[in-house]
A and B are shown apart, each in its own frame.
Chain A
């Protein structure tokens, strides 16, 4: 944040405007989240009565959550998702950082060529079929690694880290080199501790991607016990195609999933992400570089 020792009246007014705008925006953002949560605890009848738009229900019900968590598929799916989120993010960060650091050094021969080649992959893609064939031929198909290895490096995140490393003052690394530190230990002992904000950022980005993983679960997995959370959750609210056939066996089960369950699924899928973000925010602090450069 900016360092202002003495706030003038104009500054205080500006502060007021900023607080007001942020409050307004926070309310606007809170609104859909609130809506999703409220509908998830409102009985379906009431949801219908209000035409889908509930401000405050007369009765609360946690039935939808009970239904979700009593499904035998959830514990397994949760295990899978936690595994791929933790292990996957760790791998992501290691490989991405190892790749970004050399690319942030302008003097490394071949750097521009490699960068162009990587950015090229952001634009050009061969489509899902060749990817499927690659996953199959590497023996990853129907294993948990199919959910982790493809997507190991996101070029977007890579570029962010590279840009960040480029902006670090050279003196810090020079000093380390003078002290006899090799390239790799410079990276680990000097550069990384100064990179908390960016590591938190890409850790968040990768983590969120893994948590939300849906497509890979459908495409690369057949064994239902390896399905990640999002696949299981979404299947709970898919309704049968009400075009021509509706089996009598599903007569007692809902013909269309009620709004209550749909929203409860969204809450279960999203809440962990909302909870984890505040914990990461402490890495977004200033002063990481304070005192590291002397003279």
Chain B
């Protein structure tokens, strides 16, 4: 009796493994040609973006974008989607290595280099042109896309249209300024004075000296770019070109002054002592608690908005009804931050391009449609008449319908919207969203208006083979921490820097970067890295 049971169990196991051996890889297309219509194709995409975290596609009957695509293009489109990150790329690597590459896929710019280098991707020059994809080229220019290629003259990766404007900004407690009778600071001296008064003069009026002027989140790694001392010494964001040379801001010689100035603030007690270990958003939480007068964000546009339930503004206001966060450009510098750079790419599998080029063509037709006005409207705002009304170039969102069908139903339009950022102005449209108050509109306008520059041409900087940039950066972190927290001065920085440049191969890395940038610059060439 027991033996029979066992035998059945074993047979079942073997059967399970054996009879389901499947050697076919990616979807093969049953081509039915119908008279006059394009043949039905089965497409397999893999997409990712930062906005896919809590997102699920609805059932087929509620997914009107899927329906529109299938009707218009006669395809059966399977999309695998995940929020961008290591897990996405791990899975993508596995599907690519396993021979079941998606026909079209999105990958990070850094990762795309390996895919292209390994020959997994197809040449796009015949597929992606202003003639075949006119709508796509409304979002990116041909020159940019050309500069974006790894090797000039090739065309292996298309830029994923990205949000150009950054919402980097410092934010300050305007109500504290009012209370202490201070003007908004516009120079470093004024800023230091305001920060000191925020710390010492009890701006929240609770009788205790328990507030700090400034806080940041270093994650225990290094001196974050939140500190205005960077900008004060001319360092805009992380990379830039200055005096016709490539500059790696965080390891430049002049960082010595940055360190000295940060140390001065630390000694004066005006920076939250947890700044070094804070992991984001711990510093924002402190600010929400009412303990901090100024913070910086590299891109969160919701900080001061009152229409976002959990914005810093609302959280602070819940505890202190007078709270009023305002964006501020507190220094007298020409530029505050850099414009965004493309971080993602659109790639086509070489296997598909070789065996089924019509799948590639059809996929790109769909992408072109998604980047057109019709596609953009459908994938960002929903169905006309139901979720929004259009009057000329003004789009008025029907908030209730939008929220119930889309936002609260898994926020699923984000899957199809990966190909276009939320910038209707690119297509000459204007969105009227009643959820965004006048107050908010003004703030967004201010932040958008802060001066920014394009730091570098859209190249991907690749460290040279055999050099471990991980070691370089971690040593940089160690030196930053040492200088600011142990030495409490920038005096040793020049020798730290020299060690970084030689022992940790910094000079080799950045000379290589200069070469790569020069390859992309058609005209002027940069001078050698110092």
B310 with A240: CB separation less than 8 A: no
The majority secondary structure among interface residues of chain B is loop
Q: Which residue of A lies closest to B281 (CB)?
A: A256
Contacts of B414 in A (CB 8 A): 247, 249-250
Contacts of A218 in B (CB 8 A): 82, 87, 91
- Once A129-B93, A249-B380 are accepted as A-B contacts, the answer to whether A139 and B301 lie under 8 Å apart by CB is no
- Once A133-B97, A138-B21, A255-B311 are accepted as A-B contacts, the answer to whether A243 and B53 lie under 8 Å apart by CB is no
Contacts of A244 in B (CB 8 A): 162-163, 166, 298-299, 340, 343
Q: Please tell me if B358 contacts chain A, counting CB pairs below 8 Å.
A: no
B80 with A222: CB separation less than 8 A: yes
B307 with A49: CB separation less than 8 A: no
Contact check: which of B84, B310, B417 meets A254 at CB < 8 Å? B310
Contacts of A250 in B (CB 8 A): 51, 411, 414
Q: Which residue of B lies closest to A215 (CB)?
A: B87
Contact check: which of B9, B286, B343, B411 meets A51 at CB < 8 Å? B286
Contact check: which of A48, A94, A137 meets B21 at CB < 8 Å? A137
Contact check: which of A52, A185, A219, A241 meets B84 at CB < 8 Å? A241
Contacts of A72 in B (CB 8 A): 410
* Interface-lining segment among A6-14, A154-162, A231-239: A231-239
Q: Which B272-327 residues sit within 8 Å CB-CB of chain A?
A: 280-281, 284-286, 288-289, 297-302, 305, 307-311, 315, 318-319
Type the 1/0 row for B37-56, where 1 means its CB is closer than 8 Å to any CB of A: 00000000000011101111
Q: Which residue of A lies closest to B167 (CB)?
A: A246
A45 with B318: CB separation less than 8 A: yes
User: In the complex, what's the smallest C-beta–C-beta distance from A217 to chain B, in angstroms?
Assistant: 11
Q: Determine the distance from Cα of A238 to Cα of B85 in the docked complex, in whole angstroms.
A: 11
- Most A C-beta atoms less than 10 A away, residue of B94, B319, B422: B94
Contacts of B435 in A (CB 8 A): 251-252
A251 with B436: CB separation less than 8 A: yes
Q: Which A61-95 residues sit within 8 Å CB-CB of chain B?
A: 72-73, 94
Contacts of B380 in A (CB 8 A): 249
Q: Please tell me if B60 contacts chain A, counting CB pairs below 8 Å.
A: no
Q: Which residue of B lies closest to A134 (CB)?
A: B98
Q: Determine the distance from Cα of A235 to Cα of B163 in the docked complex, in whole angstroms.
A: 24
- Most B C-beta atoms less than 10 A away, residue of A182, A236, A243, A244: A244
Q: Which residue of B lies closest to A251 (CB)?
A: B308
B56 with A247: CB separation less than 8 A: no
Contacts of A48 in B (CB 8 A): 285, 288-289, 315, 318-319
- Once A44-B315, A48-B315, A139-B20 are accepted as A-B contacts, the answer to whether A248 and B308 lie under 8 Å apart by CB is no
Contacts of B22 in A (CB 8 A): 136-139
Q: Please tell me if A108 contacts chain B, counting CB pairs below 8 Å.
A: no
A128 with B54: CB separation less than 8 A: no
Contacts of A58 in B (CB 8 A): none
Type the 1/0 row for A91-104, where 1 means its CB is closer than 8 Å to any CB of B: 00010001000000
By a beta-carbon cutoff of 8 Å, the part of chain B in contact with chain A is: 2-3, 6, 9, 16-17, 20-23, 49-51, 53-57, 78, 80, 82-85, 87, 90-91, 93-95, 97-100, 162-163, 166-167, 280-281, 284-286, 288-289, 297-302, 305, 307-311, 315, 318-319, 340, 343, 380, 403, 406-407, 410-411, 413-414, 417, 421-422, 431, 433, 435-436
Query: A52-B285, A138-B21, A258-B310 provided; 6 other pairs, C-beta below 8 A?
Result: A218-B87, A222-B80, A240-B53, A242-B297, A249-B422, A251-B436
